[in-house]
Chain A
Amino acid sequence: MKTRWKISPYIYILPALVLLVSFRMLPIVMSFVISFFEWTLHGTGGFIGISNYQKLINDPEFWQSMMNTVWLVIFVVPASLIFSLIFAVLLNQIKALRGLFRTVYFLPFVTSMVAVSIVWKIIFNEQTGLANQFLNVIGISPQKWLAEARGIFDIFFSGFGIHLPNWMGGPSQALFAIIIMTVWKSLGYNTIIYLAGLQNIAKDYYEAAEIDGAGKFKQFFKITLPLVSPTTFYVLMMTTIVTFQAFSQVYLMTNKGGPLGTTNLIVYYIFTKGFDTHEMGYASAAALMLFAVILGLTVIQKRLEKHVNY
């Protein structure tokens, strides 16, 4: 039977392989090549070695967008993981209406980033947005949200009369608004993954703990958390990679990464360099830097996983 399938397997794989090589692998290699050229929208301006990279590491705008992206990841990933684990643990304890809650939580994940970005932009509208109306109800003064360049730590502590130096100000309130909507968008997917992970834990552990008199909290920290850790690593990795690629929120909710560039994220930076100022070589260099960061993080997380996994 093996002899009959000598050539045909390759023919079967060919269509997918050709597309994959032409439209994924080739562009990745091309990015690498282009990054060493001065490349405009429709052609090359010549080989310039590592100039693009040198220019990149000396560009404060690049570092600002990297820093903003790191803030986004630092806030979104833990918040999303913690909330989705809590949702999943709660969901796992009920039977009635579980399907309904699951559906409701999953809703933001399937809807388009463009549409929900528009909705959240209007939610954070200074005058009539829902966010300020909600703050009004709980007795907090209205915020400028997407128009506020001041850091959230700065805003918080100035409420107590403490003035923080600039570098301690944290992400701007505008970026914080983006953080909130990004967490909201990612919760549903992570909750579903966590719920599946929780359902894989054998009931016996909990029964044994119950007999030993361990409380619910102790059970959570001693059984659930360690046994769900493979899922945690998967969710951690996925959320980190996806959050590093955030683009549409900034494109739709902010005025070109403003105010004062505090919501300019790395992918938006790449996009503007490539398609606004047409510095394709330079933008490719930035894209490869992002790739290096994502690849590095993936490797670190894989290493860590081996140490912690049960």
Chain B
Amino acid sequence: MGNNIRKIFIYLALIACGIFMVVPFVWMISTSLMSQAEFNKGESVFIPKENYDIIRNTAPEQRIIVVKVIGDTTLVHYLNENGRITREYVKITTKSIKHIYKPISIHWENFSKAFKKVPFARYFANTLFVSFLSLFGVLITSAFAAFAFARMEFKGRDMLFLLFISMVMVPEPIYLISSYVLLDKLHWLDTYRGLIIPWCVNVFTVFLFRQHFKSLPKELFDAAAIDGCSTMGMLRRIVLPLSKPVIATASVFSLIGSWNSFMWPLVMTDSPEKRLLQVGLSYFNAEASAQTTLLMAASTFSIVPILILFFLAQKQIIESTAKTGLKD
């Protein structure tokens, strides 16, 4: 009995925390579907509703906008069907107030409006292009390096690996300024090269692959060596087929990382046609700060691809996150 009550409390606490975690997303989506006028009034919070109210008990329903409530009378505007004001400041009594309701209305056009203001499709395509090319680079460089670290013996291996790992600890803001200078000297500023090539290496992925390659049975490699299989052949015929899950995990992390990266593309690109999604979103945030509903629509749009990826691969993402925490 006591145990059951405890369980109920645990679930209640978890639900409360869960609500705190998702409410910003729910609010984002509901606001993205609301008319700006309705949002500015601050009356409908989670359900997008019409800007006007309707009085039900009149023969043809009357559309009104409540302007002010004074005592038991309410000052309203009457609207015609086009939403234009037909009569200003009419007083209505509390009796009719009881029959007022607000119809729900979903404003999908916020999305198309946001798209008209800012070329999000272009930003989207740029981001896909940069994300997948750097993913490709990361997988290649990591697979080769990790294979050498895990399966080969050579002078300075442990030193080199330590060197790799130590780079994880250096935060991006530390080398941002000098990277700008470097890219400037290379004439890589405001180019796709500058967005892709520096991110074709990922120490975390090297580490992840190395752990996995080490766990593969040694006998497989010995047998392949006896059969005269080259190292490249081993990598292609033995390692690759046995590494699909870890490659998938690394890919998902890499894609999330480059999709969400912001500081680097913000600093390294200038021209609008090379803008990535997050940078474009931040410019939109600066330009359209009063157009809350459009901003929310753009934010929703920018999050959706990552959410889809997350829901498809959530088990892998969460479990490998948990593992990295334990490895330290």
Real binding pair: yes
CB of A6 closer than 8 Å to a CB of B? yes
Complex CA–CA separation, A196 to B163 (angstroms) = 28
Which listed residue (B45, B176, B256, B292) contacts A122, Cβ 8 A? B292
Smallest Cβ-Cβ distance to A190: which chain B residue:
B325
Cβ < 8 Å to A, chain B residues 252-305:
256, 259-260, 262-263, 267, 278, 281-282, 285, 292, 295-296, 298-299, 302-303
* CB 8 Å contact bits of A207-236 with B (1 = contact, 0 = none): 000000000000000000000001100110
**Chain A residues, CB < 8 A from B281:** 114-115, 118
Complex CA–CA separation, A285 to B173 (angstroms) = 12
Across the interface, do B23 and A113 meet the contact criterion of CB distance under 8 Å? no
Across the interface, do A112 and B302 meet the contact criterion of CB distance under 8 Å? yes
CB of A49 closer than 8 Å to a CB of B? no
Across the interface, do B325 and A235 meet the contact criterion of CB distance under 8 Å? yes
Which listed residue (A91, A123, A197) contacts B27, Cβ 8 A? A123
* CB 8 Å contact bits of B153-167 with A (1 = contact, 0 = none): 110010010011001
Complex CA–CA separation, A1 to B256 (angstroms) = 40
Cβ < 8 Å to A, chain B residues 15-70:
17-18, 20-25, 27-28, 31, 39-42, 45
* CB 8 Å contact bits of A6-39 with B (1 = contact, 0 = none): 1011101101110110111111101100100001
Across the interface, do B174 and A26 meet the contact criterion of CB distance under 8 Å? no
Smallest Cβ-Cβ distance to B256: which chain A residue:
A110
- Given the known A-B contacts A119-B24, A122-B31, are A42 and B256 also in contact in the complex, defined by CB atoms under 8 Å? no
CB of B204 closer than 8 Å to a CB of A? no
**Chain A residues, CB < 8 A from B256:** 110
Complex CA–CA separation, A228 to B318 (angstroms) = 19
Complex CA–CA separation, A1 to B225 (angstroms) = 8
CB of A187 closer than 8 Å to a CB of B? yes
CB of A104 closer than 8 Å to a CB of B? yes
CB of B220 closer than 8 Å to a CB of A? no
CB of A158 closer than 8 Å to a CB of B? no
Which listed residue (A90, A197, A284, A287) contacts B13, Cβ 8 A? A90
CB of A53 closer than 8 Å to a CB of B? no
| Cβ distance A242 to chain B, nearest Cβ, rounded Å | 8
Which listed residue (A19, A93, A122) contacts B198, Cβ 8 A? A19
Across the interface, do A31 and B45 meet the contact criterion of CB distance under 8 Å? no
Across the interface, do B171 and A118 meet the contact criterion of CB distance under 8 Å? no
Complex CA–CA separation, A267 to B147 (angstroms) = 36
Across the interface, do B325 and A90 meet the contact criterion of CB distance under 8 Å? no
Across the interface, do A247 and B263 meet the contact criterion of CB distance under 8 Å? yes
Across the interface, do B167 and A25 meet the contact criterion of CB distance under 8 Å? yes
Most buried by B among A23, A90, A91: A23
CB of A260 closer than 8 Å to a CB of B? no
**Chain A residues, CB < 8 A from B40:** 127-128
CB of B88 closer than 8 Å to a CB of A? no
Across the interface, do B24 and A120 meet the contact criterion of CB distance under 8 Å? yes
Which listed residue (B42, B278, B303, B326) contacts A200, Cβ 8 A? B326
**Chain A residues, CB < 8 A from B302:** 112, 114-115
Which listed residue (B42, B163, B179, B267) contacts A128, Cβ 8 A? B42
| Cβ distance B305 to chain A, nearest Cβ, rounded Å | 10
Complex CA–CA separation, A241 to B317 (angstroms) = 22
Complex CA–CA separation, A295 to B145 (angstroms) = 27
CB of B240 closer than 8 Å to a CB of A? no
Which listed residue (A34, A106, A195) contacts B314, Cβ 8 A? A106
Interface segment, one of B71-79, B94-102, B180-188, B242-250: B180-188
**Chain B residues, CB < 8 A from A17:** 145, 160
Across the interface, do A111 and B328 meet the contact criterion of CB distance under 8 Å? no
Number of interface residues of B (CB under 8 A): 92
**Chain A residues, CB < 8 A from B325:** 192-193, 196-197, 231, 234-235
Complex CA–CA separation, A188 to B321 (angstroms) = 11
CB of A130 closer than 8 Å to a CB of B? yes
Across the interface, do A28 and B175 meet the contact criterion of CB distance under 8 Å? yes
- Given the known A-B contacts A2-B153, A113-B262, are A122 and B295 also in contact in the complex, defined by CB atoms under 8 Å? yes
Across the interface, do A19 and B299 meet the contact criterion of CB distance under 8 Å? no
Smallest Cβ-Cβ distance to B24: which chain A residue:
A119
CB of A294 closer than 8 Å to a CB of B? yes
CB of A291 closer than 8 Å to a CB of B? yes
- Given the known A-B contacts A20-B164, A103-B318, A200-B326, are A118 and B174 also in contact in the complex, defined by CB atoms under 8 Å? no
Cβ < 8 Å to A, chain B residues 108-166:
140-142, 144-145, 147-149, 152-154, 157, 160, 163-164
Across the interface, do A288 and B174 meet the contact criterion of CB distance under 8 Å? yes
Complex CA–CA separation, A244 to B317 (angstroms) = 25
Complex CA–CA separation, A122 to B300 (angstroms) = 14
**Chain B residues, CB < 8 A from A9:** 148, 152-154, 157
| Cβ distance B238 to chain A, nearest Cβ, rounded Å | 15
Across the interface, do A118 and B182 meet the contact criterion of CB distance under 8 Å? no
Complex CA–CA separation, A193 to B318 (angstroms) = 9
**Chain B residues, CB < 8 A from A30:** 175, 178, 181-182
CB of A176 closer than 8 Å to a CB of B? no
| Cβ distance A294 to chain B, nearest Cβ, rounded Å | 7
Across the interface, do A251 and B177 meet the contact criterion of CB distance under 8 Å? no
Q: List 18 A-B contacts (CB under 8 A).
A: A1-B222, A8-B231, A16-B141, A19-B197, A28-B178, A34-B177, A94-B7, A103-B314, A103-B318, A112-B262, A113-B260, A114-B260, A115-B302, A116-B299, A118-B285, A271-B263, A275-B180, A283-B177
**Which 9 pairs from chain A and chain B are nearest by CB?**
A193-B325, A196-B322, A128-B42, A27-B175, A19-B201, A30-B178, A12-B148, A23-B198, A16-B145
